[in-house]
Amino acid sequence: MAKKLFIKTHGCQMNEYDSARMADLLGESHQMEVTSDESEADVILLNTCSIREKAQEKVFHQLGRWKKLKEKNPDLVIGVGGCVASQEGDNLRKRAPHVDMVFGPQTLHRVPKMLDPRRDSLKQISVVDVTFPEIEKFDNLPAPKSDGASAFVSVMEGCSKYCTFCVVPYTRGEEVSRPFEKVMDEVIHLADQGVREINLLGQNVNAYAGLNQLGEEIDLAELISCVAQVEGIDRIRFTTSHPLEFKDSLIEAFGEIPELVSHLHLPVQSGSNRILAAMKRGHERDLYIDKLERIRALRPDISFSSDFIVGFPGETDQDFMDTMDLIGQIGFDHSFSFIYSARPGTPAANLEDDTPEEVKKERLLILQERINQQAMQIGRKMVGTTQRILVSGFSPRDPGLLSGRTENNRVVNFRAANPTELIGYLVDVEITEAYPNSLRGELSSPYRY
């Protein structure tokens, strides 16, 4: 019987991509099959994220629960990867001796070799590898597999911005772009499997600067243009970006490339210039506003989402009001927003933070309620319109409904007489109802595209 692999993923889309690639890798090297039941697994991998507060403790709590599985099955292999693995290194095994392998985001391609000595030797060999071998990871991964309409393609790793609150440069390294042809080969391979939507990924994706075979540097706008020419690819998204790297060519792409969707996620973190400077973001709010207004002039129906940190050290009531003013001015309809929590090893961890926790919680609630209100207003305006939906599958909450997304990233649920025939296709749906986190609709045409 094939060995079983269980992977639990914390954090961002980059981690989701890495977990999928680990499954592909071990499927090819060890003929392992993915299971959703950790109790039947032969190998358990935890792909970690260090962005949120108490991330390390959550990892150790999870490993504590898995210790019981190890006691029942001594042959069980437990591995920890991702950003917490990069931060903790050898200390992770000291605190959790039942862990067999520790690997970073850049060394996940070495998992099969880590696994072999552990499983083939009578001496239970443990491996810790949290180095930064740059682009080597992608050269050692198998061709990706996809059975859905949408797929992620990682085009670069790391970040070189060193914002004072962010741990990414320390856990994933500095920016390294994949060669242009390697990215295109992956896109074409996915398109051949029926993928219709490509989401280009990177910690700072709009800093992409991959070299082609002639040694010429290709930026993200040119990459998007080339992806759009791949037969079968109808939609292109990219995430996540930095305002400083948002070049004019990328702005112009929204007016020139119809496959580029009418949605942009561009983290700003704060609407206060004083806090932006303390965060070392390298830009002021006016630069951010200017870029979004220029994009909206090209795509009037575009939707914007962002990231916000509430309660950064020294944030005053006025700083917070500046953020709220920016939210109203731009009209964001979604956000990833959190109360600031210090990440070990980052410059901001040493800043004095005298804002009461109750004040931070109140600010976060105000911010999230405002964005929810704006999202509801935008959703209501969409009622009565016809939207082209990329059907991803059945709704997780109601298997009787099909589910998909609009270009502006809204989830739409609807019924169809022939549901299985529409999955993976684009269909036209009239929006009939708006809910806080989704829309409801009815098929307006029998055709699929």
pLDDT at 12: 79
Q: Is 373 within 8 Å of 388 (Cβ atoms)?
A: no
pLDDT score of 72 more than 90 = yes
Q: Which of the 8 DSSP states describes residue 397?
A: S
* Confidence band, pLDDT 50/70/90 cuts, at residue 55: confident
Residue 89 identity (one-letter amino acid):
G
* Confidence band, pLDDT 50/70/90 cuts, at residue 133: low
Classify 172 as helix, strand or coil. Answer: coil
pLDDT at 345: 84
Q: What angle do CA 137, 264, 303 make, to 5 degrees?
A: 155
* Confidence band, pLDDT 50/70/90 cuts, at residue 119: low
Instruction: Say if pTM beats, i.e. exceeds, 0.85.
Output: yes
Residues 139-177 have pLDDT tens digits of 777 778 888 899 999 999 889 999 999 988 988 888 999
Which of 436 and 264 is assigned the larger pLDDT?
264
In degrees rounded to 5, what are phi and psi of residue 345?
Answer: 90, -5
pLDDT score of 308 more than 90 = yes
pLDDT score of 93 more than 90 = no
pLDDT score of 118 more than 60 = no
pLDDT score of 27 more than 70 = yes
Interhelix angle 285-298/248-256, nearest 10 degrees: 20
Closest by alpha carbon to 125, among 93, 153, 165? 93
Q: Of 44-58, 110-124, 250-264, which gets the smallest average pLDDT? A: 110-124
* CB burial of residue 41 (10 Å; 0-12, 13-18, 19+): buried
| Bridge partners of residue 306, in order along the sequence | 335
* b/e 180-201 (16+ beta carbons within 10 angstroms → b): beebbebbebbbeeebbbbbbb
pLDDT at 88: 84
* Confidence band, pLDDT 50/70/90 cuts, at residue 85: confident
